[in-house]
Amino acid sequence: MITLPPKFGRYSLLFHFIIWFLLLSQFLRLCFFVWQYDEVSWNIIDLFRTFFTGLFFDIGTITFISLAGIVYHVIIPNRWIGSLFDKIFVCFFTALTTFILVFTFFAELTFWDEFKNRFNFIAVDYLIYTHEVAANIQQSYPLPLLISGVLFLTFFFLFIFYKRNAFKDTFTYKTCPKARIKILSVAAAIALFFGFFIHNYQAEWSSNRYNSEISKSGIYSFFAAFRNNQMKYVDFYTSIDKEKAFGIIKSKLADSNSKFNSKGYSIHRTITDSTASLKNKNVVFILVESLSGSFLKEFGNKENITPFMDSLAQKSIFFNNLYATGTRTVRGMEAVTLCIPPTPGQSIVKRPENQNLYTVCSVFKSRNYDCNFFYGGDGYFDNMNAYFGGNGFNIYDRGRGSVLSDQIKTIRNNINDDEVTFENAWGICDEDIFNKMLKVADLQYQSKKPFFNFVMTTSNHRPYTYPSGKIDIPSGKSRQGAVKYTDFALRELFKKASQKPWFKNTVFVIIADHCASSAGKDEIDVANYHIPAFIVNLPQEYNQKINKQCSQIDLWPTLFSLFHWNYQSDFFGKNVLDPKFEERTFMGTYRKLVMMKKEKVMILSDQKKQAFYTWNKKDNRLKSIPMNQPFLEETISWYQTADYLFTNKLLK
């Protein structure tokens, strides 16, 4: 005989759990609103829509989370309800799921602190590299306090469930088959509806990016990003006829000193220079972690945290209007090695079948250079070793036992403990990686072989720790300290390198991988892609400040033109110093693709949508303007052809 239950009966704990999740999710949403109080839209309609949209996605999220529990309640026989097995099983998984969700809410707060986003593809990437991420969290936050807080709140919420008799009712009352099937049917219908008809981008309803982000459910966003990490351009974005797209790009890449080697779907060409080339110079290339242009006094910063780089800007070829292509290190690496606009989804550095591509290393190898990649952490992170090793570089890193694939034929060298004075979650300090490079450069000089050494720094990254006593800002306190330490380490590098016999014949190239933050009100915050770049130690008469708007992908074609080299090219970048250079830059996220010309900004979205704006640099806001069809077609062409060439293995 079935006992008629009060309230939710057998489903009492499940319904309490669902209501708890929805309330806590809205509270988290309120926290984000208060966090960004001066940047979100507080308009009453926008406020209502943000929370209503959030509730909608939270319902989908909790349905997926609860589905397994609902199925359990359907299949368990009535005679087992309230048994020891039933009590242990339900209590254990309720406690475990509550703990995980509370931990997730805490994690969302730290993620927002770093990226001003709900969980996205970055969170997916970080899940893979547990060593670095766990160590970073441990060094950046009071982990014992956080875990204690998570445990306390978990037990507190479970105690509320207990006081409301949710456990008692769940283990007391039976359910009839019809009620079980009805509840399962409703849950399955909601899950199928969200699975097939609802997409995470539908939460992006507002022109204020913060309102759209807060509207999302972090867990739902995480799995949406996991599912869409790789995106074929023609499936997700507006495209045009392939012949037309390549025709537009070839016309943009055409120069008097370049000759296309084939017709059709290729941009391969021969670059020639009638001027006698410089003697093969060594090149030290430094990709600096998270170096926003806004950190430099040269761009208006008043904190005096980059005195050395500000001095370099006066005695180098300094790019003062250059923009990063993305928001991650792997995007910067992609841009400066392949000279290609950012294709949607994962960076090419992290994709399969990214070996034997035509990179800047290919140009150096054709001139018999020794090419090396230096990274102070484990190059397994972000697939760096596989990418650089698979494209001609020898590897120097702090590998913790990870190995290269048998298909990657390169030399891998470990940075030994006796070469390290300081190390944190991401790797050894900038001074140590520079010292390692100097040691290798000495050996390369002795072998009488020109070298191209690519160095990736790590110090300017949370937890912002570095050797004590080097600068006047204590280690681990702030981003400003990390920036100032990186500037100090660069000064020390040049001081030591200037004493080397190979220094006079060596060019140093310094550029940021991306900015420290890219988030803002607009769907793309243009100002947060502005980065500095320097070419140092060419003859003094070369030194100048380049005001032309350009991209990371233009750096190497510009340097090769300064060397007066003849070379083969599959690069989308161009020589900025060419009087006919057309100013433009490319930037994006893993979903948004952007081309900017002066103040005009075209944004392509993965719903086959596009938007056209004018950028007011003074207040850093985008204002919508009528669509410009030629501008749109050119933007499409850059990204469509870049994606086509990689996916069809034509960048080789």
pLDDT at 407: 55
Q: For all residues of the chain together, what is the average pLDDT?
A: 92
What is the C-alpha radius of gyration for the chain, rounded to an integer number of angstroms?
28
How far are the Cα atoms of 279, 308, 524, 527, 629 from residue 372, in angstroms, in the given order? 20, 26, 34, 32, 44
Whether 242 and 252 have beta carbons less than 8 Å apart is answered as: no
Three-state secondary structure along 153-215?
HHHHHHHHHHHCCHHHHHCCCCCCHHHHHHHHHHHHHHHHHHHHHCCHHHHCCCCCHHHHHHH
Q: What is the residue-wise DSSP string for 326-338?
A: -SSHHHHHHHHHH
- DSSP H/E element including 622: strand 621-624
236-647: CATH, from 1.10.3720.10, 1.10.10.10, 3.40.50.720, 3.40.720.10? 3.40.720.10
Contacts of 556 (CB under 8 A, 6+ apart): 336, 339, 360, 363, 571, 573
With cut-offs at 50, 70 and 90, classify the pLDDT of residue 353.
Answer: confident
Helix (H, G, I), strand (E, B) or coil at 635: helix
Helix residue ranges, H only, 447-517: 479-497
pLDDT at 461: 87
List the structure tokens of 489: 């380490």
Helix (H, G, I), strand (E, B) or coil at 578: coil
Q: What is the residue-wise DSSP string for 221-271?
A: HHHHHHHTSB--HHHHS----HHHHHHHHHHHH--TTEEESSSSS---EEE
pLDDT at 3: 43
pLDDT at 404: 58
Choose the most confident range, by mean pLDDT, from 176-185, 235-244, 331-340: 331-340
Percent of the chain with pLDDT over 70: 95
With cut-offs at 50, 70 and 90, classify the pLDDT of residue 1.
Answer: very low
Q: pLDDT, tens digit, for every residue of 30-77?
A: 999 999 999 999 999 999 999 999 999 999 999 999 999 999 999 999
Number of Cα atoms under 13 Å in the Cβ half of residue 366: 11
Residues of the chain with CATH 3.40.720.10: 236-647
Helix (H, G, I), strand (E, B) or coil at 384: helix
Whether 521 and 620 have beta carbons less than 8 Å apart is answered as: no
With cut-offs at 50, 70 and 90, classify the pLDDT of residue 409.
Answer: low
Give, in degrees to the nearest 5, the angle at Cα 104 between 99 and 106.
Answer: 100
Q: pLDDT, tens digit, for every residue of 479-520?
A: 999 999 999 999 999 999 999 999 999 999 999 999 998 777
Q: pLDDT, tens digit, for every residue of 377-403?
A: 999 888 999 999 999 999 999 976 455
Lowest mean pLDDT: which of 43-57, 110-124, 621-635? 110-124
pLDDT at 131: 64
Helix (H, G, I), strand (E, B) or coil at 571: coil
Taking alpha carbons only, the member of 554, 590, 514, 651 closest to residue 347 is: 590
Buried b (16+ CB within 10 A) or exposed e, 263-284: eeebbbbebebeeeeeebbbbb
What's the rounded Cα separation, in Å, for the pair 333 and 348?
Answer: 9
Cα torsion 16, 17, 18, 23: sign:
positive
Q: Specify the amino acid at residue 75.
A: I
pTM: 0.84
> Per-residue pLDDT averaged across 302-319, rounded?
97
With cut-offs at 50, 70 and 90, classify the pLDDT of residue 4.
Answer: very low
Cis peptide before 626 (omega within 30 of 0): no
**Residue 406 dihedral angles phi and psi, to the nearest 5°:** -60, -25
With cut-offs at 50, 70 and 90, classify the pLDDT of residue 229.
Answer: low
List the structure tokens of 58: 């939270």
Q: What is the residue-wise DSSP string for 76-118?
A: S-GGGTTSHHHHHHHHHHHHHHHHHHHHHHHHHHHHHHHHSSS
pLDDT at 600: 98
Taking alpha carbons only, the member of 223, 236, 224, 201 closest to residue 53 is: 201
What's the rounded Cα separation, in Å, for the pair 549 and 530?
Answer: 10
Q: Specify the amino acid at residue 150.
A: V
pLDDT at 228: 64
Cα 557 to chain centroid distance, Å, stands at 25
